[in-house]
Structure 1
């Protein structure tokens, strides 16, 4: 089953071109069918709303963890080691904008022991620091692992749809582990310690293919953005009783921080 929220194969290759300026867009016919372009059930983000958002050329999203590191999903990368093939696009909501910032990768760190079942996080080190953009701190406790979350990405606005030129955003509510693992939802497939669910029972709002690795975030006690999740997987996009499943960042926060320190970030 293609449940990851990463664009694969030919579409990923096309997105390598997209990151360099030729962005795939929904066809006029599809746009007419779907109404305004939006992350499933969301809306277009404004320039400057989420300065930490990153688009990765393999067809994933990410968040700027530090000036030299991007936090993304393990399933977006192949292995730990030197990697100069990834292009990160930052600083814009419009991937065609002349003011976009781009950096090549020079190293990838994938969560140790990742085998496709949990532990879905990775760090990508950039070839040079990105200055002038806010980074996104990660949650280090479970204090913020409930409530209403914000998601954003350049992924498809409907299941099976095209990738987007403009950054889209939506809000989704927390779904408890017990509910998410119930027989009407994922029937025990979610790993309670590793993963966190968010979405609506009726569906309609969700991340989708191409949003993998992007952050799920909310306001902390000081009203600053804090990352609580990483877009990981789900059955389709925005289906009823199939909320999005996200890597639970708080559970891995010390491992992420240690890995970042080892990479100089």
Structure 2
């Protein structure tokens, strides 16, 4: 263990703000990917129409999500654990956090994986059901048999509004970057028993420099044009020798499909 880890979630939800602030002050460097992309470039929701902001009721973004059907969004369990449907909104088609365009949808149901307890224990996946449809092109996602997508060295794309440095400020504009997937053995050498290969996949450069960070939690890891992972956690952001950790979506694909089709 690396002590108390933090998922890469931006703590802005009113109901948990005080507790989150205390955690942010006291937590060590392991963080959830709630910051903006480190080492990336600016992009738009036109380029990535499936990219959703997950916000509180006042539309303050705290996580990302991926639209996989008109009314379903895949995100991280640690983003929604303890939240109620009434306290969450999903915003699509809005490139800038301070924008007013796009579509805002209320949430009618939150499914958090029933075995989720902590990011380092795996099962970091959730599905939101929207009260109204999103008029944007959804992303396809991996099936349970598509395990070959994670071959070490495969190029993966990360997207989000998270911080551009560990503990820094969130990016107002959507950002993106590419990182290579990392072998299970290499990731285990970095994270020890906190890395669960059945539930997690690592992506990042050995030298660091490019990564998801606080505020990017719940956003997509895109491989071969499809959703293959969910931004989950990591030791700091973009640190050499500590790649980002993402939910291995093939493991949970069938459960996600049950929620998407329900």
2:215 corresponds in structure 1 to 210
Post-superposition, which runs of at least 4 consecutive aligned residues in structure 1 deviate over 4 A? none
1:106 corresponds in structure 2 to 108
State the secondary structure of the residue aligned to 2:78: helix
Conserved 8 A contact 2:45-2:51: no
Confirm whether residue 124 of structure 1 aligns to residue 128 of structure 2.
yes
| Alpha-carbon distance between aligned partners in 1 of 2:244 and 2:156, rounded to the nearest angstrom | 12
2:46 corresponds in structure 1 to 48
Superimposed CA distance per residue, residues 95-150 of structure 1 (whole angstroms, 9 cap, x where no aligned partner): 3334321111111001121111101000111111112x110111111132230100
| Alpha-carbon distance between aligned partners in 2 of 1:13 and 1:61, rounded to the nearest angstrom | 17
The residue correspondences of 1:156-235 to structure 2 (distance < 5 A) are 156-182=163-189, 185-219=190-224, 225-235=225-235
Q: After TM superposition, give the deviation of residue 55 of structure 1 in Å.
A: 0.7
The residue correspondences of 1:25-36 to structure 2 (distance < 5 A) are none
**Number of corresponding residues:** 229
Confirm whether residue 76 of structure 1 aligns to residue 74 of structure 2.
no
| Alpha-carbon distance between aligned partners in 1 of 2:251 and 2:234, rounded to the nearest angstrom | 20
| Structure 2 residue runs without a partner (length 5+) | 18-35, 57-61
| Alpha-carbon distance between aligned partners in 1 of 2:76 and 2:173, rounded to the nearest angstrom | 21
| Alpha-carbon distance between aligned partners in 2 of 1:61 and 1:98, rounded to the nearest angstrom | 17
| Alpha-carbon distance between aligned partners in 2 of 1:113 and 1:42, rounded to the nearest angstrom | 33
Q: After TM superposition, give the deviation of residue 78 of structure 1 in Å.
A: 2.2
Q: After TM superposition, give the deviation of residue 3 of structure 1 in Å.
A: 2.6
Confirm whether residue 143 of structure 1 aligns to residue 148 of structure 2.
yes
Confirm whether residue 239 of structure 1 aligns to residue 212 of structure 2.
no
State the secondary structure of the residue aligned to 1:7: coil
1:23 corresponds in structure 2 to none
| Structure 1 residue runs without a partner (length 5+) | 17-37, 220-224
Q: After TM superposition, give the deviation of residue 79 of structure 1 in Å.
A: 5.0
Q: TM-score, normalised by structure 1?
A: 0.82
| Alpha-carbon distance between aligned partners in 1 of 2:86 and 2:111, rounded to the nearest angstrom | 13
2:253 corresponds in structure 1 to 253
| Alpha-carbon distance between aligned partners in 1 of 2:221 and 2:39, rounded to the nearest angstrom | 15
Structure with bigger RCO (C-alpha 8 Å, 6+ apart):
2
